[in-house]
Structure 1
Amino acid sequence: MEDAQLVQDFRGGNHQAFNTLVTRWQDRIHHFAYRFFASSDDAAEITQKTFIKAYQKLDTLDDVNKFGSWLYTIANNLCLDELKRAGRKRATSYEALKVAPQTETATPADGTVLRNEGLVLLHKALLQLPVDQRVVVIMKEYEGLTFREIAEILNEPENTVKSRLYYGLSALKKTFDSWNINKEVFDYE
């Protein structure tokens, strides 16, 4: 069943339809918030608040075919509100994302170790981006949204979104270059 039909069913009194929407979308919203904050606790809180707000405001959604974009808008706004509320430039301290040293049993060929190190480094680099670039990089590269969807979610022109992606990816490359990290760190099996 399509999201639009589930929204219509919920509006018609079928509360199970909303539970289906939550099940369908909660992992995506959680991943978005996790990439934004690099904190499981913050991501869980944002995910919960997103669905509470969606439940309360679903009757205000004008175009039921845009439920996903609308949900990302809520999640993004809650992430930005959390940054403002906490008065912090970045969501997590870089120290909280330290790479655990390799043990003697872990070899460079160990895909799990390399994958974990790569993810930690990626989160550290994302946290260094300005928020407007970070959110576009996350939405485009990790959530797989189109430029049009991102522009709609952020209420920005598509060219602005494209520009932010370009500058965000360029900044990530510069960060990785300054850390002497090359592509192979992220090419693991």
Structure 2
Amino acid sequence: MEKQHDSYVAEFVQNGHDKSFQIIAEHWYPAIYRFAYSYFGNRDDASEIAQKTLIKVYQNIRSLKEVGSFKSWIYRIANNLCLDELKRAGRRKSESLSLIPKELKLSELTPVTEIESKELNSLIHQALNRLPEEVRAVVILKQFEEMTFSEIGDTLQIPEGTAKTRMYKGLDLLGSILKQWNIETDYLNYD
């Protein structure tokens, strides 16, 4: 969904067309689920956060003053819910990610590459757990959600420069952790 379309649908819902919210829910549920899964590595927690996010969006969409910032706003809600859950449960993510490298197509997966991919992602997940929360959020938004630094700044309500600094710090820390584990870090994207 393009930014303009997000804005249009959000404005439509704000004007009382509640049935239009289904468009938002269908479009954003997978993205928010993926984002929450990056935090927890658990399908149930990710599903719960995605559902809670959409409920909060529905309850508060009329208070959104700038519909053009919808993407940042929905990710901010999801991020805050993830942080609240981490604090409430007093735990960190525990299960492995099941992300497949973007350049590897499903048809190219062999049993060996699938296992290697899962193992690598499990290790990346464990390394992400070791990052400070404010740094981890930036890395997840940039690396997994492919947001711009401007969008990350809007989402986390921090200056764009701070988002860049946290990203580079996060990738450096992540790289250091993975190198300690003798894992190649050439794939880390610093852009």
**TM-score of the superposition, structure 1-length normalised?**
0.84
Q: Mark the structure with the bigger radius of gyration.
A: 1
Q: Which residue of 1 aligns with 2:23?
A: 20
- Which blocks of at least 5 consecutive residues in structure 1 are unaligned? 99-107
Once residues 10 and 97 of structure 1 are traced to their aligned partners in structure 2, the CA distance between those partners, rounded to angstroms, is 37
Displacement of 1:36: 1.2
Count of aligned residue pairs for this structure pair = 173
Once residues 121 and 76 of structure 1 are traced to their aligned partners in structure 2, the CA distance between those partners, rounded to angstroms, is 22
Any conservation in 1 of the 2:57–2:74 contact (CA below 8 Å)? yes
Displacement of 1:16: 2.5
Inter-CA distance 14–77: structure 2 relative to 1 (3 Å threshold): same
Equivalent residue runs for 1:56-67 within 5 Å: 56-67=59-70
1:120 aligns with 2:109: no
Q: Which amino acid aligns with 2:120?
A: G
Q: 2:175 aligns with which of 144, 153, 173?
A: 173
Runs of 4+ in 1 over 3 A off after TM superposition: 183-186
CA offsets 1:7-35 (integer angstroms, 9 cap, x no match): 12212332221111111111110111110
**RMSD of aligned Cα (Å):** 2.2
Once residues 134 and 81 of structure 2 are traced to their aligned partners in structure 1, the CA distance between those partners, rounded to angstroms, is 14
Once residues 163 and 185 of structure 2 are traced to their aligned partners in structure 1, the CA distance between those partners, rounded to angstroms, is 25
Q: Which residue of 1 aligns with 2:150?
A: 148
Q: Which amino acid aligns with 1:83?
A: L
Displacement of 1:121: 1.3
Q: Which residue of 1 aligns with 2:101?
A: none
Q: 1:74 aligns with which of 57, 73, 77?
A: 77
Q: Which residue of 2 aligns with 1:133?
A: 135
Once residues 164 and 19 of structure 2 are traced to their aligned partners in structure 1, the CA distance between those partners, rounded to angstroms, is 38
**TM-score of the superposition, structure 2-length normalised?**
0.83
- Which blocks of at least 5 consecutive residues in structure 2 are unaligned? 98-109
